[in-house]
Amino acid sequence: MIVAIDGPAAAGKGTLARRLAAHFGFAYLETGLLYRAVGARVLAAGGDPADPDAATRAATTLAPADLERSDLRDEAVGEAASHVAAIPAVRAALLAFQRDFALHPPGGAAGAVLDGRDIGTVVCPAAAVKLFVTASLDVRAERRYRELAERGERPDRAAVIADMRRRDARDSSRGAAPLTAAPDAHLLDTSNLSIETAFAHAKSIISAHLR
């Protein structure tokens, strides 16, 4: 079984995806890490994440070790990831990896959970279950603010909101696989939901497909 989970930044899809994978014994892939790793490689080389040539070189030479970098959660890397993800050649380079993971889950798992921006629309359009996890901009910005503060950073709330608004616009308007809910996706707005409530709702949807 393939479970596709999409949604904007800080909507809670990653936390939800990890819990669902652990509960059902499915393999889990956070596809955003692939784009973060590409963005981090470009930045480390002193390049511009919006440069198609630099980003494509980084994507085609991506190695497993790149997914273990300690800076992948940095805000600058997240911003770079949004830029490289808008480049068609980068998405094409990473598409095969994602589909192979979904169709052949590592460890002999009975299914796979993938979260990202275009899993249900492009990567796995035939996924058995599709979830689109979202939340209001203010709620997502506050979550990101707390996350950064807990890491010892000193974020500015206004800057966090502005950055998230720009990233949302870029992700939703890009020509290559824009962020959008698949027509058959289950919408899950977590603005006023606890993780337990969101998890219970998503779990029931998946369980219904396993009967």
In this prediction, residue 65 carries a pLDDT of 86
Q: Any idea how long the chain is?
A: 211
One-character DSSP codes across 106-148: GGG-S-EEEEESSIIIII-TT-SEEEEEE--HHHHHHHHHHHH
- Residue 211 is given by DSSP the state -
- Name all domains of the chain by residue range, CATH numbers in brackets: 2-210 (3.40.50.300)
Q: Which pLDDT belongs to residue 80?
A: 95
In sequence order, what are the residues at sequence separation of 6 or more whose Cβ sits closer than 8 angstroms to the Cβ of residue 95?
A: 122, 123
Q: What is the pLDDT of residues 173-200, one digit of tens each?
A: 888 888 999 999 999 999 999 999 999 9
pLDDT of residue 96: 87
The tally of CA atoms less than 13 A away on the side-chain side of residue 60 is 10
Cα–Cα distances (Å) from 195 to 6, 58, 162, in that order, read 16, 35, 25
pLDDT of residue 64: 81
Per residue in 45-71, pLDDT (tens digit) is 999 999 999 999 999 998 888 988 999
Kindly state the average pLDDT of the residues 24-37. 95
Neighbours of 170 (CB within 10 A): 16
- Residue 104 is predicted with a pLDDT of 93
Residue appearing with tokens 């911003």: 79
| Residue type, position 200, single letter | A
Structure tokens at 167: 């990233």
For 94-129, the pLDDT digits (tens) are: 998 899 999 999 899 999 999 999 999 999 999 999
133-186: pLDDT as tens digits = 999 999 999 999 999 999 888 999 999 999 999 989 988 988 888 899 999 999
Question: Taking the mean position of all CA atoms in its chain, how far away is CA 154?
Answer: 24
Q: How confident is the model at residue 130 (pLDDT cuts 50, 70, 90)?
A: very high
Confidence of residue 1 (pLDDT cuts 50, 70, 90): very high
Query: Is this model's pTM higher than 0.75 or not?
Result: yes
SS3 187: strand
In 3D space, the residue among 2, 3, 77, 92 whose CA is nearest the CA of residue 40 turns out to be 77
Q: What are the strands of the beta sheet with 186-189, ordered from one edge?
A: 27-30, 112-116, 2-6, 129-134, 186-189
Q: What is the pLDDT of residue 196?
A: 96
